[in-house]
Amino acid sequence: MASHSGRHRQPPRYVSNAHLFSRVGKANLNWMDPDQSAEKENEAFGRAMNLTGSEFLDNVRFHAKSWLPARSIVKECLAAKMDIDPSGEIMVLNRFCPWKLHLFELEEEMRIDPPVKSVLYQDDSCKHHWHQQSNPNCVPGPLA
């Protein structure tokens, strides 16, 4: 568990070295490599730049083609929830998208009350089938 300083009180059970900083660091020349020339160093720098650029573009593509459209869908459907059910506790997605995180953020940003308890959406493969999912933030805890 982390304290306010960001340091762990106990050693973590798992440490991920897959973050961008670590992967860029691995692009550096190996200290044991006998050829430490400027040319080799520039090649390593080029690999690190390509990796960073690719990661950046992947993130831009994800946000432009997935995250933002999903947020727009959820925001539009959230605004229309009172047209679906007067309690305001049911939201119908006009098409499936990853909705949970967007719903949590938008309910907080828009000060939505009451919160959506149930989300409905059609099955993409069969328009006659519907799915219902409960908002995990509205599910009561275990009974005592």
pLDDT per position as a tens digit, 38-90:
999 999 999 999 999 999 999 999 999 999 999 999 999 999 999 999 999 99
pTM (2 d.p.)? 0.71
Closest-CA residue to 80 (of 116, 104, 133): 116
* C-alpha to C-alpha distance for 104 and 118, rounded to whole angstroms: 13
- pLDDT band of residue 4 (cuts 50, 70, 90) is low
- The whole-angstrom distance between residue 65's C-alpha and the CA centroid of its chain comes to 13
User: Which range among 83-92, 100-109, 132-141 shows the weakest confidence by mean pLDDT?
Assistant: 132-141
Query: Sign (positive/negative) of CA torsion 105, 58, 133, 78?
Result: positive
Bridge partners of 17, per DSSP, are none
In sequence order, the 6+-apart residues with CB closer than 8 A to the CB of 25 are none
- Which residue pairs, CB below 8 angstroms and at least 24 apart, start in 51-56? 51/20, 51/23, 51/24, 51/27, 52/20, 52/24, 55/20
